[in-house]
Structure 1
């Protein structure tokens, strides 16, 4: 019959054990309130600075070793994140926009929150509050509880933010396909601002622009397309087959054959699913695909992606960002307006006055939409002005401080077919873009383009010169 014997301890372990047992933190003079008080403050402080150290020196060493290992792992993770933010930003952006990474972060942070609660209560047990003087007893207990709330609460909040980020990214960005390569050095994205008012036959885009992002430098060019532009040509595809001479002529079934009416043409007046059978599978709609083809054909560039912004949700985003600062050049009316026969306005519920203003969401929305006292070209300028102001507000500090509000607004505001796999790269470009001034091209009479009879060749040349300026001649 064999006899089980405990594993032998090393000589070093046998030497350390008596030394640790002799420490006042592990075996204090419990009869001395002063000694117990100092010990209590030390244990609570150690539990905050190096979680697990209090248990190693005064309590359950197994728990202490586990907590200390978890603490060291957390510090290493934080150090790697800081290093990545300085040296390997693409890696950091990849993790910050990856579903599995965000889920893993959420689980780990919840685990740390639970661990710190366990350590806090275990530290209070080790303190032996009954051995302290009354005031010290209250002070130590209050400090330990406050530190527990601060540490565990911060971990739980960070876990919540990770979950919100994961869910928001999943609701806005589809799985999509693999990232596409830039075309001629640019990613071109169709940006549509839609106003789904009741009574409309479809969600006609009122604000239309193409955002071109340089794939190397991150420099941004915004090309504004007037919504009433007529005769717009299409890129190769079903709409070009229907309108080989541009969106005009007897085949056009809308009132004015304007650019923004293409959406209605495809979504309401024709069988859009027959024209673009794969649109829904790609996270788009037939109307949006037709608008992409129109923008690509008109500008002479590939437009693989779109972003659709609901103008009603636009106000929520501005509020979530804390408002925007705008210099108003002309007094503008607010409200669901109509123009009377005598030229007066009805439905005015307020005015946006001239001068520098900090606008909330509702005011910014009317600033972008107001058109009865100004031209469509003026409205386009205001919309670009707001775009620039919102981009300015999208700083990491502001977004993190208001993350939940921004995420909630974005979830109901934005639709896009940009795949999640492109987010790390686009996030890196977004950071780089802040180093450059935004270039704006307005295809309006002021920009040398007549929307009623556009010179397509001139427009394409204008866009090409903006995106690919000639290299400066070498100095002789």
Structure 2
């Protein structure tokens, strides 16, 4: 056993000093960890108690508000949607996160000061500086990043959505005209490449997609509208189609006094005249922005039934998307929806519906949160709309409800509708029937139908031999294998018989 040094010796003084240094070091680290776990607690113990009380009360208030917000959002999803789309609340949250970042960073620096770093040994002093810097920048950085994300969301709401008044549902449904904009140079949004009315139940989110061909002619306009006054007998201008209304209106913008989007207004008046539905809102999709959106969510899985060309044979990048279930990137998804080479307009319309359905089903809230900044950047360049910010939470809620339901479709195309001379009464009858069926209002079959049907059970079900030794009936002939459905241009069906995705009660089943 080594001899105990006499009291007052140099070794005793060194041991005592070293122990005191370790105690001060642990105290300094503890003060910083206290600040991390409970902001203000270090000041209550060793510093300015007034600052500590203010910090602690602020932190407890933030925790209580956060817990209440999470509980409310979990129980009532509408609270979260409202909070995420209210620009004033988002601005308050953004400034609050920035203030928290600055205040918490100050508390960490003050906790470092309270640890008396100048009294520590050099290695302990460096360690305390490193720990304090790491905690300070980690916490403040996380809060500032949160403020940035909130700012991005607020900017998205301001740039994409209008501040106009909300329009109530018509007969229990919101009708939104979705248009794909021609993104040619200098012509963005001037000529809709595709037009689809999304008719959405205002309670259940049950959706019917009603597509109109861009080459429709000789159609009426909504009664009393500007276009109805100009064309009381319908749009019968030689060589002009439905997708030409936008450019016609821009050439006659003086007729649409006070309108910010005369081309969109004229198109809506035509769509309302054709379908008999009153539009609530419209959205114009820039197809280049759509490509970026698909990339932002990591692609979309589609059932490619035939080779789909990407580009034209004259393009340097021309190639094919091969058949099979494939996750397509933005460029391939865009060409899957737009390609007409080796196809036709109506097959393309069917593929466009399949893309819409896939996007709705596959872009989950988790995906949206994970890729939020990319989605926000793509969305702000993708969509122009008159949906007011006050209604965004309503449509987000309806979209989530729609994800769990079948999407019905109706396309006003041949062979059902002659696009050159459409039977508008038939069109509106089909539209009303599709919505009624989606709402569950379809007429039931006659009650005696089941009774009148012949009972074929005995004829098709083999029986055991009779107990008396009689011969068993001959076995039923094997059923003839059902021929696979025809596929044209990548869509189930053909031009003559129609495409399944263009008129279906379950879009997912035919895509």
1:162-188, Cα deviation, whole Å (9 max, x unpaired) = 2121122111112112x1110010010
Find the aligned partners of 1:399 and 1:173 in 2 and give their Cα distance: 18
Q: Secondary structure at the match of 1:346?
A: coil
Superposed CA RMSD in Å reads 2.5
Q: Secondary structure at the match of 1:241?
A: helix
Which residue is 1:121 aligned to?
109
What pairs with 1:64-83 in structure 2 (closer than 5 Å)?
Answer: 64-83=52-71
Residues 398 and 273 of structure 1: CA distance in aligned 2, closer, same or farther (over 3 Å): farther
Find the aligned partners of 1:297 and 1:164 in 2 and give their Cα distance: 39
Is it true that 1:259 corresponds to 2:228 in the alignment?
no
Q: Secondary structure at the match of 1:468?
A: helix
Match 2:200 to one of 190, 200, 213: 213
Residues 194 and 357 of structure 1: CA distance in aligned 2, closer, same or farther (over 3 Å): same
Match 1:272 to one of 243, 253, 257: 253
Superposed displacement of residue 471, structure 1 = 6.2
What pairs with 1:254-403 in structure 2 (closer than 5 Å)?
Answer: 255=239, 257-268=240-251, 271-274=252-255, 276-280=256-260, 285-335=261-311, 337=312, 345-347=313-315, 349-351=317-319, 352-403=321-372
Find the aligned partners of 2:309 and 2:115 in 1 and give their Cα distance: 67
Is it true that 1:181 corresponds to 2:148 in the alignment?
no
Larger Rg: 2
1:274-316, Cα deviation, whole Å (9 max, x unpaired) = 1x21321xxxx11111111111111111013110011122212
Q: Secondary structure at the match of 2:244?
A: helix
Structure 2, unpaired ranges of 5+: 1-16, 449-511
Match 2:418 to one of 450, 458, 461: 450
Q: Contact 1:262/1:291 (CA < 8 Å) preserved in 2? A: yes
Superposed displacement of residue 159, structure 1 = 0.9
TM, length-normalised to structure 1: 0.83
Which residue is 2:490 aligned to?
none
Q: Contact 2:189/2:286 (CA < 8 Å) preserved in 1? A: no
Residues 432 and 133 of structure 1: CA distance in aligned 2, closer, same or farther (over 3 Å): farther
Match 2:388 to one of 419, 441, 449: 419
Structure 1, unpaired ranges of 5+: 1-28, 338-344
Aligned residues: 426
Is it true that 1:59 corresponds to 2:35 in the alignment?
no
Find the aligned partners of 1:46 and 1:374 in 2 and give their Cα distance: 68
Q: Contact 2:181/2:189 (CA < 8 Å) preserved in 1? A: no
Which residue is 1:436 aligned to?
405
Residues 30 and 298 of structure 1: CA distance in aligned 2, closer, same or farther (over 3 Å): farther
Q: Secondary structure at the match of 1:228?
A: coil
TM, length-normalised to structure 2: 0.78
